[in-house]
Structure 1
Amino acid sequence: MVKMFLDFVGDKFSASNPIPVPDNDPLDDCSAISHGTHVAGIIAANAIGISQPGFIPDVPFLGVAPEATLGAC
């Protein structure tokens, strides 16, 4: 389940523009590097019962918080 939250920072927040500009749209412009997706996978991954060629068979993988609720764009 994905829950969306208020955007307290806005899409224009960055190291070069450190002043938050909140907006009403909780969906951010996702970057091409997918860093957030990678981190979310580490946090909430649940691959129990999934087999993938090249993976070690029968080794369950769980993220650090597999029952977490994440907001995503």
Structure 2
Amino acid sequence: MTNAVVVDSPTEQTDEAQLVDDATVDVKAADPLATTGAETARSLIAMALLMLISGGLFLAYRRRRDAVTAE
């Protein structure tokens, strides 16, 4: 990673001023982000979809069973 910085100063440069400098710094990995409950929302959506699908299948089964017994 390269980070470049340009500094503009209204003061006068002295003989001891350091105009160019290079530095190498090791950067450690950041801590992972805190969980915000997104995993819970996904699981609730999945459960709701499964319940809707199973309810639809149950209704289709009952209608077919009622149609067969009505004959």
TM-score (norm 2): 0.16
Which one has a bigger Cα radius of gyration? 2
Instruction: Compare the two structures and name the one with the higher helix fraction.
Output: 2
By relative contact order (CA 8 Å, sep 6+), the higher-ranking structure is 1
TM-score (norm 1): 0.16
